[in-house]
Amino acid sequence: MVTKSIEEIRKRLVKAGKELYERGLVRGTSGNISAKIPGEEAFLIKPSGVRLSFIKPEELVLVDFQGNKVRGKMSVSLETPLHATVYRERDDVQAVVHTHAPIATAFGIAKTEILPLQVELFMLLPNGIPIIPFESPGSEALAMTVQKKIRDYDAIILENHGVLTVGSTIEMACNLNEMIEEAAKIQFLAMTISGKDLLDFAKLKEKFKTMNTVK
């Protein structure tokens, strides 16, 4: 049963990786994606140096929650500690997606928080999308910083580094990542039209206070 489950997850990760590439959220060998194995303290993750657009199911590496390779011929992703710390911290998370979505990443570089201005995104992320200070990719410092934030957020912006989203399924984590990039586009346009005065999270929460949120 576990073997069948792993093979299914491999196929879904490959499909999701190609869609992320096609939608312009990753380029080259950047970005990574992983999914937890149900009932196991282990997850599958994209290996190092492989393009998500061309990844094969058998190339995905099986890793335990401490970041140690369990099975796989290729090297683990540099960001494996980042994914591992999310799974250790959040029992409800089944998938982690890290992209370099260009506009959302630019907001992180500019240290301008992306707000859930559209009601649909607010329902998913009522606490917003925080930016965490830059730490070197693959470092323990980055993993620890993410660990503190991921307890309360399903999406975060990594300063100078991209977007991290989590979900109860692979598809939901990918969808959230794409929605954040779309939110960044809309916010950029709104700021161009009206300036930064519209970026008042307190007023936004007041406007949407009657909405039911989804977690």
Does some domain include residue 112?
yes
- Separation CA 132–CA 10 (nearest Å): 30
Does some domain include residue 56?
yes
**CATH number of domain containing 112:** 3.40.225.10
Does some domain include residue 15?
yes
pTM of the model: 0.92
- Helices 170-194 and 102-109, packing angle to 10 deg: 60
Range of 133's domain? 2-207
81: helix, strand or coil: helix
H-helix or E-strand containing 157? Answer: strand 155-158
What single string gives the DSSP state of each residue in 85-111? HHHHH-TT--EEEEE--HHHHHHHHTT
Does some domain include residue 199?
yes
Structure-token match 């970026």, residue found: 199
Write down the pLDDT at residue 86: 97
Does some domain include residue 47?
yes
Of 92, 159, 110, give the one whose Cα is nearest residue 130. 159
Write down the pLDDT at residue 1: 46
Catalytic residue among 7, 19, 59, 79: 79
Domains in the chain, number? 1
- Helices 170-194 and 2-22, packing angle to 10 deg: 20
Does some domain include residue 212?
no
H-helix or E-strand containing 167? Answer: strand 162-167
Per-residue tokens: 76: 């683990």
Write down the pLDDT at residue 213: 53
Contacts of 31 (CB under 8 A, 6+ apart): 20, 25, 46, 52, 97, 98, 99, 100, 162
Structure-token match 């492989």, residue found: 50
**8 Å CB contact between 65 and 88:** yes
Does some domain include residue 83?
yes
Which residue positions in the chain have pLDDT lower than 70? 1-4, 196-198, 211-215
Per-residue tokens: 26: 């990753």
Does some domain include residue 28?
yes
Write down the pLDDT at residue 197: 67
Per-residue tokens: 163: 């977007």
Write down the pLDDT at residue 115: 93
Is 22 annotated in the active site? no
H-helix or E-strand containing 1? Answer: none
